[in-house]
Structure 1
């Protein structure tokens, strides 16, 4: 398609063309449109990508050693806020998310509690 032809397109036709290009080539035109704006701010601004700091974390129980089950069950019960009779079923399949969407401090505290009890846990 020639540039002269593009100049004659209506907004609706241009929008449909962009949608068709995105579908056909599997691209996102909005990302390409943001690049010139970033370049206008200066090369240093374009070179430094914005990295959002993670604010919520999940605590995942990965392993319960057989000799530490009772201690870990007590910790799991308090972290996951479940009844005593539910802990065994809750931990039957691992890895298992103990706490979702926790703050960094809460996630680290839960990780520490499980680790101190002898379990293997990770914060993601």
Structure 2
């Protein structure tokens, strides 16, 4: 409820309390409320009446269209007025970043797809392939320290080779681990 209506309501309530037998007070309160309400309704009527009659006629015709007819109207207006389709998501290209020709976007997409394929792989998976039988205790201890497993879990892990040791290891760290386990007698590969 707006502030104006609240003050009007309070005024009427006070008038009714002070003179419950006075019919004039009741009439004036209800007339005041009707007057403010009708004035508000009239304000929209005045705004509509003051607009261009040609535009009012177009708005009336558009309001009578079905949903399919409205969609057809929008597409016709876009084509006739050369209005580009705007993406509905939050991602928009920066102004001037789109090429002017139709063949250039396809070439740009192909370049972007070829770029990731040409990039060098930076993260590797380490897989324990096998180990020498005599080096088994040393390999178990090293796997225990690398993976943070208990001695029993490390033994089970090494005995179940070939098995994936680590995922997403940087190249330098992976090469160090491979070299360390190779010196102990194990075969570890980087995938």
Q: TM-score range by the shorter chain?
A: 0.5 to 0.7
Q: CA deviation at 1:38?
A: 4.6
Q: Which of 139, 142, 151 is the aligned partner of 1:75?
A: 142
**Alignment-derived partner of residue 93 in structure 1:** 160
Instruction: State the TM-score, normalizing by the size of structure 2.
Output: 0.40
| Runs of at least 5 residues in structure 2 that lack an aligned partner in the other structure | 1-71, 76-102
- Stretches of 4+ moved more than 3 A in 1? none
Corresponding position: 1:102 with 2:169: yes
C-alpha displacement at 1:37, in angstroms? Answer: 2.4
Q: Are 1:122 and 2:189 counterparts?
A: yes
Alignment-derived partner of residue 40 in structure 2: none
- How far did residue 36 of structure 1 move? 5.3
Q: Name stretches of at least 5 consecutive residues in structure 1 with no aligned partner.
A: 1-7, 12-34
How many residues of Structure 1 are paired with residues of Structure 2 in the alignment? 88
On the 8 A contact 2:178/2:189 being kept in 1, the answer is yes
CA RMSD of aligned residues (A): 2.6
Q: Deviations over 1:22-77 (max 9, x none)?
A: xxxxxxxxxxxxx85253x6xxx85x932232121111100011111011111111
Match runs of 1:1-124 below 5 Å: 37-39=105-107, 49-50=114-115, 51-124=118-191
Find the counterpart in structure 1 of residue 36 from structure 2: none
**Rg larger for:** 2
